[in-house]
Structure 1
Amino acid sequence: MTEVVLGIAIIVALVVGMSVGLLALRRRLVPDTGLDVTVNDGLHLVARRGDGLLSVLHGAGVAIPAACGGSGTCGLCRVTVTGEGAGEPQATERGVLSPRERRAHVRLACQTRLRGDCAVEVPDDILSAGGGVLGTVSSTRMLAPLIREIVVELPPEQPTEFRAGDFMQITAPPYALDFATLDFDPAFSEAWEIAGWRRMRLASVAEVTRAYSLASRPEDSGHAVFNIRLAVPPAGREHELPPGLVSSWLFSLRAGDRIALSGPFGEFHAQPTGREMVFVGGGVGMAPLRAMIHQELAQGTSRRIRYFFGARSAADLFYSDEFTALAGRHDSFDWTPALSDPAPGDRWGGATGFVHEILFAEMRAHPAPEECEYYLCGPPAMISAVLATLDRLGVEPEAIFYDDFGA
């Protein structure tokens, strides 16, 4: 017995000694000196080798957007990075960034690990955004089983002239949440019971920030309107994957609660060309498209506007009455909702099928679909299908503008 204990002690001592030796050697060969990250030729940030670029920027108050929790799927945290200190692009980045972007030194900040000094270029509006503001929730309402509209009253000092298509970043504080305590519209209670979402619980131990598109209309001046989709785990994987940290917190908010925001930011905007505009959306891709359409119509545009929106069933279709009313008031605006899998009780008499199929059927009869301008927003699968459809219609990529929710 004594020999066994002695042997174990020797092995432990050897392992500890080797670990200490390796750490000492690493410190000598790879000094833990501060790295210089220069932002827009003016701001100098100190980082450590191995730090994530997104964390370094966020730690300095540079509000680079991110919607996917650092998984590299949303593509919002694009920055231009020069210098060998950023290393080579990761495989994740090559799946999101185009060859042209990679040649121009565009990187995903969330996937970039620092190895040395580097220079970073970010949009000026992000650099000047500062630390954000505190707003107050004016109202919330459920639009669909997993989508909630949140209207936030902004402080008087916050500029309220948003450009349609912009987004803001929302920061959730640490919290604990029992989903059974959430307020529900009775119309969606059955869906929650069947899916078992009421049984979910979640705790977040740190602040988390995500980007959300604005659904604000001109008449919403002084407020920021968001369409929030609760990110729930796929069926059967509830014990493996947690629900979304920020979307869950947002679903728990009530009127009067405070909320931290920064922005607005964005590059997904209507182009001032005069060409016919075709909008295609799905899910919470509704938000920026709704803002753009309302802005164009409020300005008295002479452009023809068509809006195709896809949902699974009538329960997932929202703002329909609003757009039907707009179509009734504006001869230049057409609204085409499509359901891919209407329920028997929906008594649906409108377009049935995937939204890209309805788009193809309608635009194939158009005299010149290639002369239109296309604005897309929604889940990645929808974006891919619509892009393929537009290619079939002969539409050049330069006439297509889109924002996908890769999260």
Structure 2
Amino acid sequence: MTEALIGSLVIVVLVVGLTVGLLLLRSRLVPDTALDVAVNDALHLAARRGDKLLGVLHGGGVMIPAACGGSGTCGLCRVTVTGEGAGGPQATERGVLSARERRDHVRLACQTTLRGDCAVSVPDDILSAGGGFTGTVVSARMLAPLIREIVVRLPEDRSSEFLAGDFMQITAPPYRLDFGSIDVPPEFREAWEISGWRGLRAGSETEVTRAYSLASRPEDEGHAVFNIRLAVPPPGREDEVPPGVVSSWLFGVAPGDAVTLSGPFGEFHVQPTAREMVYVGGGVGMAPLRAMIHQELGKPGDRRIRYFYGARSAADLFYSDEFEALAAAHARFTWSPTLSEPAPGDRWTGKTGFIHQTLFDEMRAHPAPEECEYYLCGPPVMISAVLSTLARLGVERDLIFYDDFGA
């Protein structure tokens, strides 16, 4: 017994000694000196070897968009990086960035680990936006079982002249939330009880930032409107996959609460042409499309607009009355919702199936579907199916504009 204890002690001492030795060796060979990150030749940020570029930029008030929590899947944090200090592209980046982008030194900031000094180029609007500012929640209402509308009043010194299709970043503070405390309207309580969402908990020890599209209309001047989808774990994996950090926090905010925002940002905008516009959405892809449609209908002219929107059941279909009213008021606008799995109690008499099939059925009767412009926003699987459908209709890619983050 004594020999076993002595042997174990010797092994522990050896492991600790080797660890200390390696740390000392690393400190000599890889000194922890400050690095310089030059942003647009106008701003210099201090960093340490091993820091992620995204964290350095956010810490310096350069609010590069990010929606995937640093996993490298959303592709929003694209920046141009020069200098050997950024190393080479990671495997995760090769799956998101094209060969041309990699040749042009485009990187994902969340996947770039700093090894030395480097220079970074970001869009001027992101650099000029600076750090965050504080808005106040005016209203919060649940539109669908997992979708909540948040309206935030902006400070008087912040412009609310957004371009439809823009997004903003929202930063959640450290928090703890028991989903049982969320106020769920009567029409959605059954879905919450059946799914077990009331038993979930979420939280974070640090601030976390995510990007959300603006659903603001011209009449929402002075406010930022968001459609937030609560990211819940897949059924049966509640113990493995945590709920979304920022979306959970936003499901807990109430009127009067402060919200930290930055932006607006974005490149997903209506093209200044006279072509007929076809919008295709699903989930919270509703947000930027709603803003675009209201913006365009508020302008004089006769530019034709069609809106195809897919939801699972009637409970997941929101703003329907609003778009029906727009269709009644504007002869150049049509609204075509489709439910993939209408519930027996929905008494649904509209189109059923997947939205890409509804799109195909209606647009193949169009005299020239290849001459229209298409604006898509929704889950990646929807975007993929719609792109395939448009290819069948003979639509060239330069007439297709889409955004699939945060949907």
TM-score, length basis structure 2? 0.98
Question: In the TM superposition, what is the alpha-carbon distance from 1:2 to its structure 2 partner?
Answer: 3.5
Q: Which residue of 1 aligns with 2:357?
A: 357
Task: Kindly provide the CA deviation profile for residues 320-358 of structure 1, in whole angstroms up to 9, marking residues without a partner as x.
Answer: 111111111111111100111111111111111111111
- Is residue 404 from structure 1 mapped to residue 388 from structure 2 by the alignment? no
Question: In the TM superposition, what is the alpha-carbon distance from 1:78 to its structure 2 partner?
Answer: 1.1
Paired AA for residue 320 in structure 1: S
Question: In the TM superposition, what is the alpha-carbon distance from 1:28 to its structure 2 partner?
Answer: 2.1
In structure 2, distance between residues paired with 1:239 and 1:2: 42
In structure 2, distance between residues paired with 1:273 and 1:400: 13
- Is residue 198 from structure 1 mapped to residue 203 from structure 2 by the alignment? no
Task: Kindly provide the CA deviation profile for residues 272-297 of structure 1, in whole angstroms up to 9, marking residues without a partner as x.
Answer: 01111111000000000000000011
Paired AA for residue 383 in structure 2: I
Question: In the TM superposition, what is the alpha-carbon distance from 1:22 to its structure 2 partner?
Answer: 1.4
Secondary structure of 1:128's aligned partner: helix
Question: In the TM superposition, what is the alpha-carbon distance from 1:49 to its structure 2 partner?
Answer: 1.6
- Is residue 6 from structure 1 mapped to residue 6 from structure 2 by the alignment? yes
8 Å contact from structure 1 (residues 73, 406) kept in 2 = no
Q: Which residue of 2 aligns with 1:286?
A: 286
In structure 2, distance between residues paired with 1:36 and 1:271: 39
Matches within 5 A, 1:101-116: 101-116=101-116
In structure 2, distance between residues paired with 1:234 and 1:345: 25
Q: Which residue of 1 aligns with 2:159?
A: 159
Question: In the TM superposition, what is the alpha-carbon distance from 1:406 to its structure 2 partner?
Answer: 6.1
Q: Which residue of 1 aligns with 2:48?
A: 48
Paired AA for residue 73 in structure 1: T
8 Å contact from structure 1 (residues 380, 406) kept in 2 = no
Secondary structure of 2:129's aligned partner: coil
Question: In the TM superposition, what is the alpha-carbon distance from 1:3 to its structure 2 partner?
Answer: 2.9
Paired AA for residue 140 in structure 1: A
Q: Which residue of 2 aligns with 1:227?
A: 227
8 Å contact from structure 2 (residues 61, 132) kept in 1 = no
Q: Which residue of 1 aligns with 2:16?
A: 16
Question: In the TM superposition, what is the alpha-carbon distance from 1:236 to its structure 2 partner?
Answer: 0.4
Q: Which residue of 2 aligns with 1:117?
A: 117
Task: Give the unaligned 5+ runs of structure 1.
Answer: none
Matches within 5 A, 1:160-179: 160-179=160-179
In structure 2, distance between residues paired with 1:49 and 1:391: 46
Question: In the TM superposition, what is the alpha-carbon distance from 1:107 to its structure 2 partner?
Answer: 1.2
Structure 2 vs 1, CA of residues 303 and 275 (structure 1 numbering), >3 Å: closer, same or farther?
Answer: same
Secondary structure of 1:219's aligned partner: helix
Q: Which residue of 2 aligns with 1:185?
A: 185
Structure 2 vs 1, CA of residues 406 and 253 (structure 1 numbering), >3 Å: closer, same or farther?
Answer: closer
Task: Kindly provide the CA deviation profile for residues 278-317 of structure 1, in whole angstroms up to 9, marking residues without a partner as x.
Answer: 1100000000000000001101243111110000111100
Matches within 5 A, 1:91-102: 91-102=91-102
In structure 2, distance between residues paired with 1:341 and 1:95: 33
Q: Which residue of 2 aligns with 1:28?
A: 28
Q: Which residue of 2 aligns with 1:375?
A: 375
Q: Which residue of 2 aligns with 1:70?
A: 70
8 Å contact from structure 2 (residues 284, 406) kept in 1 = no
In structure 1, distance between residues paired with 2:301 and 2:220: 19
In structure 2, distance between residues paired with 1:210 and 1:371: 36
Paired AA for residue 345 in structure 1: G
Task: Give percent identity, aligned residues only.
Answer: 77
Q: Which residue of 2 aligns with 1:262?
A: 262
In structure 1, distance between residues paired with 2:367 and 2:97: 34
Paired AA for residue 321 in structure 1: D
What RMSD over aligned residues (CA atoms) do the two structures have, in Å? 1.2
Q: Which residue of 2 aligns with 1:300?
A: 300
Matches within 5 A, 1:387-398: 387-398=387-398
Q: Which residue of 2 aligns with 1:88?
A: 88
Question: In the TM superposition, what is the alpha-carbon distance from 1:90 to its structure 2 partner?
Answer: 1.6
8 Å contact from structure 1 (residues 65, 76) kept in 2 = yes
Structure 2 vs 1, CA of residues 100 and 302 (structure 1 numbering), >3 Å: closer, same or farther?
Answer: farther
Paired AA for residue 121 in structure 1: S
In structure 2, distance between residues paired with 1:102 and 1:323: 42
Paired AA for residue 43 in structure 1: L
In structure 2, distance between residues paired with 1:393 and 1:406: 27
Paired AA for residue 44 in structure 1: H
Paired AA for residue 203 in structure 2: A
Following superposition, which runs of at least 4 residues in structure 1 exceed 6 angstroms of deviation? none
In structure 2, distance between residues paired with 1:333 and 1:390: 20
Secondary structure of 1:231's aligned partner: coil
Secondary structure of 1:127's aligned partner: helix
Secondary structure of 1:67's aligned partner: coil
Task: Give the unaligned 5+ runs of structure 2.
Answer: none
8 Å contact from structure 2 (residues 211, 406) kept in 1 = no
Task: Kindly provide the CA deviation profile for residues 160-179 of structure 1, in whole angstroms up to 9, marking residues without a partner as x.
Answer: 11110011111111111111
Secondary structure of 2:101's aligned partner: helix
8 Å contact from structure 2 (residues 308, 336) kept in 1 = yes
Paired AA for residue 252 in structure 1: G
Secondary structure of 1:289's aligned partner: helix
In structure 2, distance between residues paired with 1:220 and 1:35: 44
In structure 1, distance between residues paired with 2:127 and 2:252: 31
In structure 2, distance between residues paired with 1:9 and 1:322: 73
8 Å contact from structure 2 (residues 177, 203) kept in 1 = yes
Question: In the TM superposition, what is the alpha-carbon distance from 1:245 to its structure 2 partner?
Answer: 0.7
Secondary structure of 2:206's aligned partner: coil
In structure 2, distance between residues paired with 1:226 and 1:157: 20
Secondary structure of 2:237's aligned partner: coil
Task: Kindly provide the CA deviation profile for residues 146-189 of structure 1, in whole angstroms up to 9, marking residues without a partner as x.
Answer: 00001111111111111100111111111111111111111000
Task: Kindly provide the CA deviation profile for residues 243-286 of structure 1, in whole angstroms up to 9, marking residues without a partner as x.
Answer: 11110110111111111111111111001011111110000000
Matches within 5 A, 1:311-350: 311-350=311-350
Paired AA for residue 165 in structure 2: G
Paired AA for residue 136 in structure 2: T
More displaced 10-residue stretch of structure 1: 272-281 or 88-97: 88-97
8 Å contact from structure 1 (residues 37, 119) kept in 2 = yes
More displaced 10-residue stretch of structure 1: 2-11 or 380-389: 2-11
